[in-house]
Amino acid sequence: MSAGQGPVAVLIGSPGAGKTTVGRRVARSLGLDFVDADALIEEEAQMSVSDIFVERGEAAFRDLEAEVIERALRESTGIVSLGGGAVLREQTREALVGHRVVWLEVGVSDAASRVGMNTARPLLLGNVRGTLSALLEQRNPLYSSVATDRVDTTGLTLRQVVDAVLALLGGDAPAVASSSGDGVSDGR
C-alpha cells in the first residue's frame, strides 16, 4: 500500500469492544470520515445484519462482508470499523495486510456488559457470556495475527480508549492506565 491510500486506521475486535463508538469519535477528533463495515453491508443488502443471517445464512453474510471490506479498504481515507467476525475470512485477513489495524481488545465480562441482550447481534442470542467466551477463544488469535496495534479496553472509559487510539495514530505511546470507569459504553 503506498502512502495516502486506504484508511488511516482499521478497528477490529469482538462484539462489545466499542469499535463503532470509538471509531466515530476518533474520526471526528481527527476530522476524518468514518466507515462502519456493518452499516455498508446493511446499505448494500437493504436489510439488517440480523436479517441477512436469518434469511441468507452466515456464509452469505461473510461473502458480502468480505467484498464490502475490500472496497472500504480501497476507497476509505478515514477510520474504518469491521464487524467482530470479519477476521474469520482469510480473504479479509489478507486484505488487511499493509493497513494500520488497531485491535480493541476486551474481556468477556466487559464485552457481555456492553452488548447485553442486543438482538441486533445474531451470534450472541441466548447465553451471551458463554457465546462471547467461545467467540473470544476462537477469534483472539486471528485479531492478534492481523493487528498492528492493540488497545486493551478492559476497565477503561470511552474517553480513555479514544485517547489511546488517538495517541497510537499520533505516533505516541498511549498513556492509559486502568481505572474504575464506566467502560466503553457512551451511556446511550
pLDDT digits (tens, 9 = 90+) for 98-152: 999 999 998 766 665 655 544 444 444 556 677 777 888 899 999 999 999 999 9
DSSP class of residue 123 equals G
| Amino acid identity, position 69 | I
Q: Which residues pair with 147 in a beta bridge?
A: none
Q: Enter the CATH code of domain 9-169.
A: 3.40.50.300
Element (H, E) at 105: strand 101-105
DSSP class of residue 154 equals T
**List of the chain residues with pLDDT < 50:** 1-4, 117-124, 171-188
Q: Look at residues 170, 173, 169, 17 and name the one whose alpha carbon lies nearest to residue 86.
A: 17
Please tell me the pTM assigned to this model.
Answer: 0.82
CA 188/CA 84 separation, integer angstroms = 20
- Interior CA angle at 145 toward 39 and 186, to 5°? 40
